[in-house]
Amino acid sequence: MKIRAGSTIRRTLVASAAAAAATVMLSATPALADDNNDAFTVVTTEGYNCGTATFIDYGSGDGTHPVSDDWVWINDNCLEGKGTKVSAALTPAGAHTTEPLGSKYIPDGAWSQAWDPFPNGDVKAGDTVILTVCTATSATDLHPINCDTDRRTSTDG
């Protein structure tokens, strides 16, 4: 069976293969199997996991910080004409206010991108990371859809 370049089937196969490879990488890395691994994933709510955002703990980062061990991996997995928008926020340990850290948009079909929104490239022990992932038509979309939010308090920083 020939699969057309750029076809939905081909892109789905590539996205599935990339997700499987990421799963193997994350589970095979000794540091990531640690009890202090604070990683978590948030997915859009349309039922197809078109957009995902994964907080990575003990990762190598996106290159903007030389020793970044905390960052976000964003996936846009569907060709539905919309992209994936992720917003991040942080509640510092002991604080009663949450600091918005910005948002990152990847357009339809951009697949995956690393993003490090954390101040100084690091999350401290006791900080709470909050991620919201949505389907959006642009970086400035005021009405994104299929949004979901999750949070995790860091055990190790």
Closest CA to 105 of 87, 84, 89: 84
Which residue from 73, 61, 74 is spatially nearest to 121, judged by alpha carbons? 61
Alpha helices in the chain (DSSP H): 8-28
Per-residue pLDDT tens listing for the chain (157 residues): 444 444 444 344 334 434 443 443 344 334 444 566 889 999 999 998 999 999 998 755 555 545 567 899 999 999 889 999 999 999 999 999 999 999 999 998 778 999 999 877 689 999 999 999 999 999 999 999 999 999 999 987 6
Tokens of 88: 């991040």
At residue 37, the pLDDT reads 81
pLDDT at 157: 66
pTM listed for this prediction: 0.74
Per-domain residue ranges of the chain = 8-153
